[in-house]
């Protein structure tokens, strides 16, 4: 009798364990079923590593990619090339994480019906970029390597983000990665790289000065072309004489900012880098951007000065620094960027983007003052007539990268227009002067953005 009771108890325990396991499985199924259904090995949903179902359009409804049958891109080769780092190619050499993040919405997964829209059908995703602005940016970049990006700092919509070099997915070249022509071709430079910022970083140093030093704009230093300090010399591009902050930012005077760094100190610079979040990664639409770097620990006075100028160990991600331009334009806070406006399948709902903000990163009055200094740069230095119909505020940079290479040209800023709330970032590799090389590019791209927004 005792043996029967023991066996019954064991059977009951096993039954309870089995039931418990079944409940755990059902719970996991309810929570994770959509992830299991659209895992990247599912040939009904993916072509290799890239999504293979549905239609992807730009903000105006122009078809960028149709995967309802074969993988068919835009009829325009320039549009195909300019969007490949967002749509991916047929072979998975270039991935498309922004769209892949919404695979379950595109495929249309339901717990009862499973994948109800896949393979030869699929749903639709709308991106925030404009095919025509992408095309204008690609043409403006020409054969240059780098990135040009523009976003709406009020809504977060990325209107344009072109990474070069790239290629036509319908006409793939014979790529030799050891050739400088194709160096980094598989990277989306907008999200996956971090560049030496050069003098655009002086905006961070200026923000720290405006926020911590009394009457910062009245502080004067002398520039004789070279400034001697502990650890070595700081060289400038000219001899500017005795100048204050406004003129120093306009002329991008290295000697002035070296002396300003001595007043601010390494701790203050580090604190404002952290406060403005410029070395942190951004996450949106399944993408996590590259981190930047800033380190003045155990640095000499000269190294701290070069850090304040945007050299030494400084690096920034283009997407993150573009967002900082939006923060300045937005009075100390801005919308965070995103590129997928919506994704879904028929009447089954899906994903729709919502605005997220950076939170307040800068005092409103300080942001306004900094913006006015950037506006002065354009009026007095870069040429306001390069941006007809727009009130552009900006800063250029010529970033030394070493290795016997020409400096990278950098240009960052925003439009202070109610109807055109645009922030931008341009990097042209191995090009030299920031203003000389970047202004003609961003001028054309902003003009295309303005035309787009006037028609929407």
pLDDT at residue 3, as a whole number: 59
pLDDT at residue 121, as a whole number: 57
| Full DSSP string of 25-78 | HHHHHHHHHHHHHT-TT-TTTEETTEE-SSEEE-TTS-EEEE-SSS-EE-S-HH
pLDDT at residue 279, as a whole number: 97
pLDDT digits (tens, 9 = 90+) for 333-373: 999 999 999 988 765 568 899 999 999 999 999 999 999 99
pLDDT digits (tens, 9 = 90+) for 182-210: 888 999 999 999 999 999 999 999 999 99
pLDDT digits (tens, 9 = 90+) for 220-245: 999 999 999 988 999 998 999 999 99
| Mean pLDDT, rounded, for 149-167 | 97
pLDDT at residue 119, as a whole number: 44
* CA 85 to chain CA centroid, nearest Å: 13
d(CA 198, CA 142): 23
* Paired tokens of 6: 């023991």
The mean predicted confidence, pLDDT, of the chain is 88
% of the chain with per-residue pLDDT over 70: 85
d(CA 430, CA 399): 9
pLDDT at residue 60, as a whole number: 96
Mark residue 319 as left, alpha or beta (left: phi above 0; alpha: psi -120 to 50; beta: remaining): alpha
d(CA 441, CA 445): 6
Q: Is a pLDDT exceeding 50 seen at residue 252?
A: yes
pTM of the model: 0.88
pLDDT digits (tens, 9 = 90+) for 403-447: 888 999 999 999 999 999 999 999 999 988 888 999 999 999 999
| Mean pLDDT, rounded, for 257-273 | 97
pLDDT digits (tens, 9 = 90+) for 89-109: 888 888 887 777 877 777 665
In this structure, of 60-69, 133-142, 190-199, the range with the lowest mean pLDDT score is 60-69
């Amino acid at each position: 009798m005792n043996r029967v009771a023991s066996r019954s108890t064991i059977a009951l325990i096993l039954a309870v364990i089995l039931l418990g396991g079944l409940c755990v499985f059902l719970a996991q199924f309810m929570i994770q079923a959509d992830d299991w259904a659209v895992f990247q090995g599912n040939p009904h949903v993916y072509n290799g590593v890239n999504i293979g179902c549905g239609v992807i359009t730009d903000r105006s409804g122009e078809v960028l990619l149709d995967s309802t049958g074969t993988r068919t891109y835009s009829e325009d080769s320039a549009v195909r090339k300019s969007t490949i780092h967002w749509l991916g190619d047929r072979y998975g050499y270039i991935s498309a994480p922004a769209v892949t993040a919404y695979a379950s919405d595109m495929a249309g997964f339901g717990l009862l019906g499973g994948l109800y829209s896949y393979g030869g059908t699929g749903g639709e995703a709308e991106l925030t970029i404009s095919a025509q602005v992408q095309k204008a940016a690609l043409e403006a970049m020409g054969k240059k390597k780098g990135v040009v990006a523009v976003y709406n700092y009020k809504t977060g919509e990325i209107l344009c983000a072109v990474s070069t070099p790239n290629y036509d997915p319908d006409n793939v070249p014979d790529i030799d990665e050891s050739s400088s022509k194709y160096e980094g071709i598989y990277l989306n430079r907008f999200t996956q790289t971090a560049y030496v910022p050069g003098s655009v970083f002086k905006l961070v140093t200026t923000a720290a000065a405006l926020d911590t030093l009394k009457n910062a704009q009245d502080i004067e230093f002398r520039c004789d072309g070279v400034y001697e300090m502990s650890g070595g010399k700081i060289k400038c591009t000219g001899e500017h004489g005795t100048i204050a902050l406004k003129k120093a930012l306009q002329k991008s005077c290295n000697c002035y900012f070296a002396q300003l760094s001595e007043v601010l100190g390494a701790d203050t610079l580090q604190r404002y880098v952290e406060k403005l979040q410029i070395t942190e990664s951004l996450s949106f639409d399944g993408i996590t951007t590259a981190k930047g770097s800033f380190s003045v620990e155990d640095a000499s006075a000269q190294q701290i000065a070069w850090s304040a100028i945007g050299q030494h160990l400084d690096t920034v991600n283009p997407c993150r620094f573009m967002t900082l331009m939006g923060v300045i334009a937005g009075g100390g806070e801005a919308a965070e960027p995103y590129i997928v406006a919506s994704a879904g399948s028929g009447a089954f709902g899906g994903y729709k983007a919502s605005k997220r903000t950076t939170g307040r990163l800068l005092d409103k009055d300080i942001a306004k003052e900094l913006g006015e200094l950037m506006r002065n740069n354009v009026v007095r230095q870069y040429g306001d007539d390069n941006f007809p119909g727009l009130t552009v505020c900006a800063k250029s940079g010529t970033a030394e990268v070493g290795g016997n290479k020409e400096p990278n040209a950098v240009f960052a800023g925003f439009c202070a227009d109610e109807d055109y709330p645009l922030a931008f970032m341009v990097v042209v590799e191995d090009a030299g002067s920031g203003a000389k090389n970047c202004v003609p590019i961003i001028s054309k791209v902003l003009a295309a953005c303005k035309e787009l927004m006037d028609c929407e």
